[in-house]
Amino acid sequence: MFTKNEIIEILKDDSKSEWLFSLADKTREENVGDEVHLRGLVEFSNICKCNCKYCGLRKDNENADRYRILKDEIIETVKHASEMGYKTIVLQSGEDAYYSEDKMIDIIKAIKEYDVALTLSIGERSYEEYKAFKNAGADRYLIRIETTDRNLYGQMHPNMDFDNRLRCLKDLKDLGYEVGTGCLVGLPNQTVESLADDIMFFKEIEADMVGIGPFIPHLQTPLKDAQKGNFTLALKVMALTRIILPDINIPATTAMETINPNGRIIALQSGANVVMPNITSLKYRAKYEIYPDKICINDNPDKCRSCIGAKIKSIGRTVATNYGFSHNQG
Ligand code: 5AD
Ligand code: SF4
Ligand code: FES
């Protein structure tokens, strides 16, 4: 285990990167094996009441072409994904109050008619709502802390409350969800010290899944002129997370591939064991523009499934056929 100071040194020193990536790859192999878990991602609404400074879906972006996918069409998507062999569905959206507790319960129950594990990624909700979603059949929940630097969190998230974010993570754990969190790498004013704190935080809250991606500036946001995150630094944060939390699930994120054409494969060889291919219908994809130049916006779900399957095979890994709960239980 590394101390915070050692983590900071490793993050600062790029001469140690190759050593770090090999150690993370070995740690991944010894603890979670060679299987790669695929999670089919449905981006079902790009409407959001939040105003995160970095995100293209922020409320104040009037250029975003907003959409909602309703229950029947979500179920069509899930049915097709399940036929393609997906064992986990991830429902992701902006913070869209249209999807009330009752509407979500209805959707969750309908999805759980299929043979899939279900992850929600729909933002901050009350304990009661999280409880109701769990009772309806949701298995996992993703909510990134984004940064553990309170000051930076405040700058990036107008009218949001860091403590409520922490409350959400705690409630989800208490309710028995598998909890996924993560951070952005390369936000303006972010320090390597705070990235080290992020990694320690993942350990402290016993995250089951941690997603890490570089910040990518979006032209219709206040951060349009900011510098984009560095691929190697994001990969190093991810690799350190693998070494410090050996048996969790770590996705090779879409943002990694957006700033490096081979980013997901490189991530899979530096500690990652999960990929989240997009299964959203082609007609909505370009509109879920959290950052520009997102991959796969002109590809359909079948294309992504075969594309990623081939890439995984090409590096001698296999696509898992189980649900891929964390700590390798089934
Ligand atoms: N660059 C990279 N990642 C982003 N996200 C939102 N906006 C951006 C951006 N501009 C990430 C956030 C959020 C996830 C769904 O997408 O970390 O949690
Ligand atoms: Fe909304 Fe999420 Fe984008 Fe923030 S990051 S504006 S919560 S979609
Ligand atoms: Fe979508 Fe490769 S994963 S085209």
Q: What is the CATH number of the domain that holds 298?
A: 3.20.20.70
Tens digit of pLDDT for each residue in 31-51?
Answer: 999 999 999 999 999 999 999
* Cα of 308 from ligand 3 centre, angstroms: 6
- Asked whether 86 lines ligand 1 (CB < 6 A), one says no
Which residues form the domain of 57?
Answer: 4-319
The per-residue pLDDT for 328 is 43
Could you give the angle at which helices 4-12 and 192-204 cross, rounded to 10 degrees? 130
Give a yes or no: residue 327 inside a domain.
Answer: no
Burial of residue 5 (number of CB atoms within 10 Å: 0-12, 13-18, 19+): exposed
| Mean pLDDT across 61-89 | 98
Give a yes or no: residue 328 inside a domain.
Answer: no
The per-residue pLDDT for 326 is 86
* Cα of 177 from ligand 2 centre, angstroms: 22
Asked if residue 253 has pLDDT above 50, the reply is yes
- Asked whether 52 lines ligand 2 (CB < 6 A), one says yes
Give a yes or no: residue 299 inside a domain.
Answer: yes
Give a yes or no: residue 86 inside a domain.
Answer: yes
Residues lining ligand 3, Cβ inside 6 A: 277, 296, 299, 303-304, 307-308
Give a yes or no: residue 121 inside a domain.
Answer: yes
Give a yes or no: residue 305 inside a domain.
Answer: yes
Q: How many domains does the chain have?
A: 1
Looking at 171-175, 306-310, 323-327, which range is the least confident one? 323-327
Tens digit of pLDDT for each residue in 263-295?
Answer: 999 999 999 999 999 999 999 999 999 999 999
Asked if residue 145 has pLDDT above 60, the reply is yes
| Mean pLDDT across 297-313 | 97
Asked if residue 329 has pLDDT above 70, the reply is no
Asked if residue 330 has pLDDT above 90, the reply is no
Give a yes or no: residue 205 inside a domain.
Answer: yes
**What is the number of residues in the chain?**
330
User: Which atom belonging to ligand 1 lies closest to the Cα atom of 218?
Assistant: 10
The per-residue pLDDT for 316 is 98
| Cβ atoms of residues 140 and 324 within 8 Å | no
Q: Report, in this order, helix, strand and coil percent for the chain, each rounded to 5.
A: 45, 15, 45
Distance (Å, whole) CA 234 – CA 215: 9
Give a yes or no: residue 48 inside a domain.
Answer: yes
The whole-chain average pLDDT of the chain stands at 97
